[in-house]
Amino acid sequence: MIGLDTNLLVRYITLDDPVQTRAAVRLIDSLTPQDPGFISMIVMVELAWVLEASYNFEKPAVLSVLEALLRSKELLVEQAEVVSRAVRHFAAGSASFADYLIEQSGRSARCSYTFTFDRKAAGSAGMRLLK
Look at the chain and report how many structural domains it folds into: 2
Binned at pLDDT 50, 70 and 90, residue 100 comes out as: very high
pLDDT reading at 19 higher than 90: yes
Q: Report pLDDT for 47.
A: 98
Q: 93 with 63, same domain?
A: no
Q: 118 with 92, same domain?
A: yes
Q: 38 with 92, same domain?
A: no
Q: What is the mean pLDDT of residues 56-75?
A: 98
Render pLDDT for 102-126 as a digit per residue (tens, 0 to 9): 999 999 999 999 999 999 899 888 8
Query: In this predicted structure, which of 10-14, 76-80, 112-116 has the lowest mean pLDDT?
Result: 112-116
For the chain, list the strands marked E by DSSP.
2-3, 37-39, 75-77, 115-116, 128-129
